[in-house]
Chain A
Amino acid sequence: MMRFILPLVIFLVLAGFLYKGLHLDPHEVPSPLIDKPAPAFNLPQLQETNKQFSPAEMKGKVWLLNAWSSWCVSCKEEHPVLMGLAQQNIVPIYGLDYKDKREDALMQLSQAGNPYTLSVMDREGRTGIDYGVYGVPETYVIDKQGIIRYKQIGPVNFQNLRETILPLVAELQKK
């Protein structure tokens, strides 16, 4: 009897691992920045280049930082979702225009609409490195104390917005 049970158990355990593996995305690298303070930066704004923006200005507010770029295809996919979110006025979205040309970025926003309260320009991608950005789009949920609470790797869509991001934002806003 044991002769049959043991291989069956081994098979089931292996199948379990493989089934779980089907739903894991190896491109999603867990961020070590979760529950750590959002790295400081002081970058020129996309629209008004003579003005700067720094995350320190956002103390006391829950906000989203969305790394995007005009050359990024998945950003175009997530753009309408962000537009919808911006219209609802639930949480301010700030853009980190990652390794982009200013003209291209402005063109993109004038064509598809601008969901951002403002965007800053990270021309050389240094701020991106500080935030552990390795592929746009990436979105950070930052709380009132300036702590990163969540990182969405890849596009924001209606599902992750409804299931993860918005409940978290509501919870953080209550604190």
Chain B
Amino acid sequence: MIDRLLFILSETLTSLKRHGMLQIAAVSTACVALILLGSVGMVLYKLDAIAQSLPRQFETEVFLKPNVPRERTLALQQQIEAMPEVAHVQLVPKEQAWEEEKRRYADEINLADLPNPLPDKLIVRTHHPEQLPKVAARLRKHADVDEVLDQRGTLERVLAVARLVRWVGLSLVSMLLLSALVLIYNAVRLTIVARQLEVRIMALVGATLRTIRMPFILEGVVQGGLGGVLAAVLVLLGAGLLSDYMLRLWPFLNDLPPGAPATLVLFGLPTIGMLLGGLCAWWAARRFVRIG
């Protein structure tokens, strides 16, 4: 068993060393495919993070009628908190709101002598942004509620963009994965063609199909893994440079949530590369390595 394993490993190593140009072709193919995959993945990760974070900034502002006493406001706050969709309810008392307004317009107008025209306000956040319109609709029907500002239109647009980004991204990544599979498959097929003599001799002496095919599969794993490591380094370098350049152009981007963590890229792309390489090599070996 160990002898056979050593044979398989030595065959893999010999092939990796001897068919240099083929290895370069296969590794660079895997690398290009994984760079595309990694770049799209990074962009999607960032867009998804933005799409996820934006709706959290939306919340419903519930203005009560001016004459509603404080105890009824507090009772309504409790009622809203009891709703299963609601994550948090914050009371902004009319006194506090009026003080803030006075401070904000202190330079322009003196509001100190005027009576407080503002009502109590409740700021409502739901667990998921999609639940917000439903909660707002229910609150509008309440007798003590004067107005509900739910910014439904904006929220729906953001949610639609987030959905579009996910679907387009998913389709794009699927297509890239498919093309990466075909490219690596062809590279492994070329390796098999280049090693027809070894395959034939192994088949003639009675080596099992597993023994004959395994070096090709390991070769595919190594090619995919190397391509993945190269791709991860290049994607991270590229993302770093692009990010710096864009931040210089548009400083507001700094406020956006961070992109994919470097460790995810460094481990993810080589792992995907190894899996893809192994899968393609297995597929090609099954198809082209016969013992007849």
Same assembly:
no
**B→A interface (CB under 8 Å):** none
